Amino acid sequence: MEQINREQLIKAGFSEDILPTKLEDKNWNVGNYTSIWMGSVHNIPNYIAIGGLFAIGMSVGQVFAVIMTASIILAAAMVLNGHAGSKYGLPFSMLIRSSFGTRGAMIPGVLRGVIAAIMWFGFQTFAGSQALSILIGKLWRTYLTLGGDWNLLGLSLPGLISFLLFWLFNVALIFGGMGLVGKFANILSPLVYIVFGGMAIWAIKLAGGIGPILAYTGAGVSGNKVIVFFAAVTAIIAAWAAPIVNVSDFTRLARSTKDQAIGQTVGLVVTYLLFAIASISIIVGSEIAFGTPIWNVLDVVARFDSTFAIAISVLTLCLTTLSVNVTGNIVPAGYQLASLFPKKLTFKSGAMIAAVIGILVMPWKLMENATSIFTFLNIVGGLLAPIAGVMLAHYFVVSKTEIELGELYSKDGKYNYKNGFNVNALITATIAGVLCLIGNFVPLLKPLYEISWFVGVISAFIIYIVLQMRSIKSV
């Protein structure tokens, strides 16, 4: 692999955070990747998304098929887009230059590393803060009534306090660095399965056994069943639309491509299998037992009789949400802001700026009902899927997995394209993005919007290759 002069690049204004990973720092193995995604799958928004599938009328079998199909496609996308990271040690903020150009990279970088990351950060922080409110409320009975009817833009005083507390926990992990995140995930993974296994057993007993849960048919979905199925798969994958784009921020630490490929596949497919069993048992079992649909897993936990059971369950939900929030949102936001302003910001200062903005976006508005999360997921998927499509097409088809590092860190190298912009990549992302989201405004094209992630990746992949090949022939 091509060598670069690190000292020279640092003098030129590049921070150590966005240079290729040193060989001695590439130490993540299969276990690390398995652990980090195991902790990330079991989080509150993921459970809410599954609750939403039952809310639209799906049966147990349909929901299980959706989850497993999504997990396989997701693992493939993560492994493939993580290849460049494991091979070259590149963070997303620099890798994206190879396809979009040295200046053009700012556009997808801002979409993923700033806008999507901050929106997701705020959303995950609020979800975790709700769990924290339940825990504090059980230990301090009057906590949930503090402030009476007072609210700040729809958020009560207890809700605001819990939100800010959980926000501070996220900030603490930022300053601990990626090493602490990896150790945190290793400790968390066993706890996740103990707690969610216990919750699943509890729900099965409440429902009168596994039979009633398996027999649950749901109200039945309306519309084209194929479109509904892939729309549901899209909702699962769209929750990962951002990590798919910047997965190289994690695979850059891999000992080898084999390590990240096996680790991510096991960590996602096996974990989603267990997640499917647990989430279906908890959501359906509690609905059968209580006679009312419960789409938010936090409402299930709040019904537990044992204070200890509530405490350990809520604590685990908080920790898993904290884990995915840092790995999936704050890390890319920090790196992206550091690459946009390399002389003024480091990863940590960039991450702090993102964390502050995450408060200002009022994320509590995204959890007002059972299906509002799908609108959010479709929009995020529609914005980011075209970027993933361009990246995959450029790396595997156009560049044939070869990247010239010296050129990548040069202002006037081959990746400068035309004045720093690869026009073909920008045109592709725009067209694919319109195809993804236009269905939200044109009823006739709504099916495209409902499967926005697939539309974005596939259309961008094809359009980019066609445009690049035409450009090569015209030279």
Q: Given this model, what pLDDT does residue 373 score?
A: 64
Summarize pLDDT for 113-131 with one digit per residue, the tens: 677 777 778 888 888 888 8
Amino acid at 335: Y
Residue 302 parent element (H or E) = none
Identify the weakest region by mean pLDDT among 17-26, 35-44, 151-160, 211-220. 35-44
pLDDT of residue 412 exceeding 80, the answer is yes
Q: What is the sign, positive or negative, of the torsion defined by CA atoms of 95, 98, 103, 105?
A: negative
How many domains are contained in the chain?
1
- The more confidently predicted of residues 176 and 262 is 262
Please return the burial class of 110, using the count of CB atoms within 10 Å of its CB with bins 0-12, 13-18 and 19+: middle
**CA 458 to each of CA 91, 379, 451: distance values in angstroms, whole numbers, following the listed order:** 24, 17, 11
**Is residue 188 very low, low, confident or very high in pLDDT (cuts 50, 70, 90)?**
low
Rg (CA), the chain: 22
Whole-number pLDDT of residue 124: 82
- On whether the CB atoms of residues 241 and 380 are closer than 8 A, the answer is yes
In one-letter notation, the amino acid at residue 179 is G
Mean pLDDT, residues 454-472: 93
* Amino acid 393: pLDDT: 97
Contact 71, 273 (CB under 8 A): yes
Residue 449 lies in a domain: yes
Q: What is the mean pLDDT of residues 1-12?
A: 72
Q: What is the mean pLDDT of residues 223-240?
A: 88
Is 21 inside a domain boundary?
Answer: no
- Domain assignment present for 6: no
Q: Give me the CATH number covering residue 398.
A: 1.10.4160.10
Q: Is residue 387 part of a domain?
A: yes
In a domain, 19, yes or no: no
Average pLDDT over residues 220-236: 86
Quick one: pLDDT band at residue 189, thresholds 50, 70, 90? low
How much of the chain exceeds pLDDT 90, in percent?
30
β-strands 151-152, 155-156 pairing: antiparallel
Q: Rounded CA gap, 12 and 409, in Å? A: 10
Q: Is residue 231 part of a domain?
A: yes
Tell me the whole-structure pTM to 2 decimals: 0.83
For residue 71, the model assigns a pLDDT of 96
Please name the amino acid found at residue 396. Answer: F
The per-residue pLDDT for 184 is 60
| Mean pLDDT along residues 397-413 | 90
Residue 128: predicted pLDDT: 84
pLDDT tens-digit map of 199-218: 788 888 888 899 999 888 87
What pLDDT does residue 293 have? 63
Which band of pLDDT confidence, cut at 50, 70 and 90, is reported for residue 178?
low
| More reliable by pLDDT, 440 or 145 | 145
H or E segment to which residue 152 belongs: strand 151-152
Average pLDDT along the chain: 84
Quick one: average pLDDT of 90-113? 88
Residue 381 has a pLDDT of 80
pLDDT at 134: 84
Residue position matching structure tokens 């936990």:
301
Average pLDDT, integer, range 354-371: 73
What ranges in 208-247 are assigned the alpha helix state H? 210-214, 225-238, 241-245
**What residues contact residue 203 under an 8 Å CB cut-off, 6+ apart?**
213, 281, 282, 283, 284, 285, 286, 289, 300
DSSP annotation of 14:
-
Taking 60 as the threshold, does the pLDDT of residue 239 lie above it? yes
Q: Please give the average per-residue pLDDT across 363-369, as a whole number.
A: 67
Buried b (16+ CB within 10 A) or exposed e, 80-108: bbbbbbbbbbbbbbbbbbbbbbbbbbbbb
Torsion, Cα of 180, 254, 345, 1 (10° steps):
150
* CA separation, residue 150 to residues 138, 155, 362, 365 (Å): 21, 8, 17, 17
What is the per-residue pLDDT across 51-85, written as a single tens digit (0 to 9) for each? 888 888 888 999 999 999 999 999 999 999 999 99
**Integer angstrom CA distances of residue 103 from 3, 94, 416:** 23, 11, 7
Domain that holds residue 116: 29-474
Alpha helices in 239-295 (DSSP H): 241-245, 248-251, 257-265, 271-290
Which tokens is 362 given? 């009022």
Mean pLDDT for 92-103 is 92
pLDDT in the model for residue 223: 77
Tokens of 418: 């035309």
Average pLDDT over residues 316-325: 76
Q: Is residue 385 predicted with pLDDT exceeding 90?
A: yes
Q: Are 175 and 348 a contacting pair, CB within 8 Å?
A: yes
- The winner for highest mean pLDDT among 63-72, 270-279, 317-326 is 63-72
User: Quick one: 157 exposed, middle or buried, by C-beta within 10 A (0-12, 13-18, 19+)?
Assistant: middle
Between 38 and 53, residue with greater pLDDT? 53
pLDDT computed for residue 265 by the predictor: 96
pLDDT tier for residue 9 given thresholds of 50, 70 and 90: confident
Does the pLDDT of residue 276 top 80, yes or no?
yes
